[in-house]
Chain A
Amino acid sequence: MANLSVNFAGIKSPNPFWLASAPPTNSGYQIMKAFDAGWGGAVWKTLGVPVINVSSRYGALNYRDTRMMGFNNIELITDRPLKDNLREIEEVKKYFPNNAVIASLMVETREQWHQIVKDVENAGADGIELNFGCPHGMCERGMGSAVGQDPVVLQTIVSWVMEVAKIPVIVKLTPNISHIQDPANAAQAGGANAVSLINTIQSVINVDIDNFVPTPMVDGKSTNGGYCGPAVKPIALNMVKNVALEPGFKLPISGIGGVENWKDAVEFVLMGSSTVQVCTAAMHYGFGIIREITSGFERYMDEKGFKTVDEMVGKALPQTKHWEELNLKYKVVAEINEDKCIGCQLCYIACEDGAHQAIGLSSDADNRKPHIIEENCVGCNLCSLVCPVENCITMVRRDDGKQHLTWKERTEQGTIPTTFNDELAGGLHHWVPEPADALKNKTLQKN
């Protein structure tokens, strides 16, 4: 049986699934409920300087009938008094000594940092997370992402914390920066024990087109907020991978952003996260989703023969390369399984209008099943992605698998192509219809 327990930079947790610092971790009540439901750890809603929140705080991006594909908020850090939170941390730790309670912090001056670190340590927190990510409201006051976006300031503050911290310190990174490795390196240089990423992405989620104001609306006005939820997972995965692959970067990573199910969690771990954090999914469905995450994750580990989570961490990283290291000799083409095809012709129009005119229709109007015009197929995957039938279009390999040539190798050999019709690899021109054909053939009927 798979062992889910982890030791993250010295913080022990019965499983790698933590609640991210956010409304679900606003109070001891919620965190006790979450631990009782099966969450391994919780990063307390950020504690710090006094704030006041506005009313009307969230907006959602729906996709057709799927609610909250993306989510955005204009909330600040906790608005509950520090001493209440400290008392509740103590109480939670009494009930759940084996679960991880991490205190998220955000203050301004060196003195304030020293004080609050001691406060949460005394309350019994297992770790500290420094919130350098909040992209609205706090950055204007020189905190949150204002710190996260400036590696020098970030390193300074981390070192202030490290002057007093006795428990592990995680630095939470903001994605609102073009080169995430810089703040990650600064955190490491400042002495932090781990990083977590991503916090929310600056966003305007929607515009109320009747009232000419973005959402969420506060008395007729709005502002940019922080974006999260399933839609941000690809961005988060890329940033986790950038940090994980950064030469010289050695700290463990807690992956955050769009995790909703076991598969999302596995993906974050394979890309280098040792724990994962969840916010939006818990806000949407409640703490109960942990059962699905745990059961799927465990089954995956058993199936793949992983005994511990550590064995999984970063498993996909060696296969994650720069573009110039990809094999130009590799060649796949699309193949349609006629037995499965339902004749929607979405693949046809996608390739015809959006790719390479490599799918043809039958001249027999009763036969709605398209066919691949193989010599034109560049193997882009588009058709297989739009096809509504599982495994109906597959990409099959056509090269012999023996040849290997990358752009990097060609650069080193000095054989970078000088013409578009480069035969050494790839760049062979394929057939493209004449522009005027667009007005002639309504449908392409090659073959």
Chain B
Amino acid sequence: MSEYKIPTTETEFEANFSAKKPLMDKNEAFYESSRCLFCYDAPCIKACPTSIDIPLFIRQINTNNLDGAAKTIYDSNYFGHSCGQVCPTDVLCEGACVYNHQDVKAIEIGRLQAHATNHVIQNDKKLYTVPEKTNGKKVAIIGSGAAGIACACELRMLGYTVDVYEAKEKPSGLTIYGIAPYKLTNQAVLDEMNYLQKQFGYTIKYNSPIHSQADILKLEEYDAIFIGIGLGNTSTLGIKGENHADCIGATEFIEVLRMQHHKTKVGKKVIVLGGGNTAIDAASEAARMGAEKVILAYRRSKEEMSGYDFEYDLAKKSGAVGLFNVAPVEIIASAEKITGVKFVKMQTVNSKLEVIKDSEFIEECDMVIRATGQLKQVGFLNLITDLKLDDKDRVIVNSKFQTTNPKYFAGGDVINGGKEVVNAAADGKVAAREIHLMLTVDFKEF
């Protein structure tokens, strides 16, 4: 099946992972922007979690005011460039574009957004000036993902001193460590991160995980704390053989892939377990790494997959094949290697998932990727006094993104259990405004 040759150089890696939404050149952006109708109260704006004034920035592109267009975007979304490339626009802004009702191709909003923001990033156009003097108050942010960085930018605009504590060595969280490389390159993420940090001037302390009671106590010297830690490692299956070195969690696999590119080790026959977007991404990625066979195995039917159809289509195009209504019961492995996965067939009876008796079979493979959801960092979160989690271990916040401990605010995957970059960017920005209100207006009200 393999459409992709195993990449042995960076160039070959780049070819296998070439951009799904390539940057537009000036001409393409001009013609595409000309098509926008400039709808009133535009449905695309409403479908954007950060409510970017889309018709306005598109018109600004059309009138050759790229700085203005980028400003319109960043005013609503500090991850403007990354979002333009990674947002599932088919179900967000572009899915809401009125052209869909006319069976005309929707405006390519994401690519236009990436075009305008790329212009200001690459030309180092300064769009924001933070107040010269800080207001004397300090906020700590845990996690430099989209939620944390968006919160940091907005707080800096409001005059706060901001320190971001990041466990890893690079900023942007899953944007650089988790998202598929054909959506966004490491360089593009880092360029945007540098661009933001240069203008907003927050501090990021890398390799600084906050994990002990002592760390937390120190943070509480700040006037407020924002939690933007996202999710944790991939959850385990609880089946035999899954601790084998060649059975790896999807986010862990993708992180290696994003950092090591062509040097990432991938099996010849890969089975990906799961039916969400992460599973689909991992399957695409394994195929693009030159695996001869990639099977996406899911407990339920194709229709019940939580992953987006367009992502599944992309994975199929990369060469992955689906195997539905099967559940893994054992990873068959010797000490040296995995030889297969034992599955049992499943069926849905009265909307309940049931095992079909005596239906076990073995599917050969030499690598397994578990994409069965990400764990929450419960242990860490429980260290924070009075901080409550819901039944799915998500941090509970009110409409102001304030947690049950009033000094702590939270946003992004840690409160929603795993959505998109754009949701995290939206939360972080609004949370910053709420932190500001709390620290300046009326403390008691909260």
Contacts and interface: CB of A to CB of B under 8 A. Distances in A.
Interface of A: 64-65, 341-346, 348-349, 368, 388-389, 443
Interface stretch (B98-106, B124-132, B246-254): B98-106
A343 B31 contact: no
A389 B102 CA distance: 8
A343 B44 CA distance: 11
A388 B37 CA distance: 8
A61 to B, nearest CB: 15
B102 A65 contact: no
Contacts of A348: 40
B39 A345 contact: yes
Nearest to A388: B37
A346 B37 contact: yes
Given A349-B40, A368-B43, A344 B34 contact: no
Contact of B43 (A64, A343, A389): A343
A346 B98 CA distance: 11
A349 B43 CA distance: 14
A388 to B, nearest CB: 5
A343 B34 contact: no
B38 A65 contact: no
Contacts of B98: 342-344, 368
Contacts of A346: 37-40
A344 B39 contact: yes
B325 to A, nearest CB: 35
B41 interface: yes
Contact of A64 (B34, B99, B102): B34
Contacts of A389: 102
A65 B101 contact: no
B68 to A, nearest CB: 15
B182 to A, nearest CB: 29
Contacts of A341: 101
28 contacts: A65-B30, A65-B31, A341-B101, A342-B98, A342-B99, A342-B101, A342-B102, A343-B39, A343-B43, A343-B98, A344-B37, A344-B40, A344-B98, A345-B40, A345-B41, A346-B37, A346-B38, A346-B39, A346-B40, A348-B40, A349-B40, A349-B41, A368-B43, A368-B98, A388-B37, A388-B102, A389-B102, A443-B41
Given A342-B101, A342-B102, A389-B102, A65 B40 contact: no
Interface string B17-51: 00000000000001100100111110100000000
A345 B62 CA distance: 21
Given A342-B102, A343-B98, A64 B39 contact: no
Contacts of A388: 37, 102
B38 A343 contact: no
Interface in B145-197: none
A343 B99 CA distance: 9
A368 B101 CA distance: 12
Contacts of A64: 34, 62
- The DSSP consensus for interface residues of chain A is loop
Interface in B362-411: none
A348 B40 CA distance: 8
Interface residues of B, number: 14
- The DSSP consensus for interface residues of chain B is helix
Nearest to A386: B37
A173 to B, nearest CB: 36
Given A65-B31, A344-B39, 10 more contacts: A65-B30, A342-B101, A343-B43, A343-B101, A345-B41, A346-B38, A349-B40, A349-B41, A388-B37, A443-B41
List the 7 closest pairs (A to B, CB-CB), nearest first.
A65-B34, A345-B40, A349-B40, A342-B101, A64-B34, A344-B39, A342-B98
Kindly name the residue among B31, B38, B98, B99 whose own CB sees the greatest number of chain A CB atoms within 10 A: B98
A20 to B, nearest CB: 30
A263 B43 CA distance: 36
Interface string B80-115: 000000000000000000110110000000000000
A348 B41 CA distance: 10
Nearest to A66: B34
Nearest to B36: A64
A384 to B, nearest CB: 15
Nearest to A349: B40
A28 B216 CA distance: 89
Nearest to B62: A64
A69 to B, nearest CB: 13
A64 B101 CA distance: 23
Kindly name the residue among A343, A344, A388 whose own CB sees the greatest number of chain B CB atoms within 10 A: A344
Nearest to B102: A342
A344 B100 CA distance: 11
A206 to B, nearest CB: 14
Contacts of B39: 343-346
Kindly name the residue among A346, A368, A388 whose own CB sees the greatest number of chain B CB atoms within 10 A: A368
Contacts of A65: 30-31, 34
A346 B41 CA distance: 9
Contacts of B62: 64
B315 to A, nearest CB: 32
A254 to B, nearest CB: 35
A240 B163 CA distance: 73
A351 B209 CA distance: 57
A93 to B, nearest CB: 45
Nearest to B41: A345
A349 B40 CA distance: 6
Contacts of A344: 37, 39-40, 98
A266 B38 CA distance: 33
Contacts of B31: 65
Nearest to B103: A342
Contacts of A443: 41
Kindly name the residue among B30, B31, B41, B101 whose own CB sees the greatest number of chain A CB atoms within 10 A: B41
Contacts of B41: 345, 349, 443
A97 to B, nearest CB: 46
Interface string B226-269: 00000000000000000000000000000000000000000000
B427 to A, nearest CB: 23
Contacts of A343: 39, 43, 98, 101
B65 to A, nearest CB: 12
Nearest to A389: B102
B62 to A, nearest CB: 6
Contacts of A345: 39-41
A254 B12 CA distance: 66
B95 to A, nearest CB: 14
A424 B40 CA distance: 38
A389 B37 CA distance: 11
A271 B339 CA distance: 84
Contacts of A349: 40-41
A370 B34 CA distance: 25
A348 B37 CA distance: 14
A282 B98 CA distance: 36
A389 B41 CA distance: 18
Nearest to A365: B46
Contacts of B34: 64-65
A345 B45 CA distance: 14
Contacts of B101: 341-343
Nearest to B27: A65
A189 to B, nearest CB: 50
B245 to A, nearest CB: 51
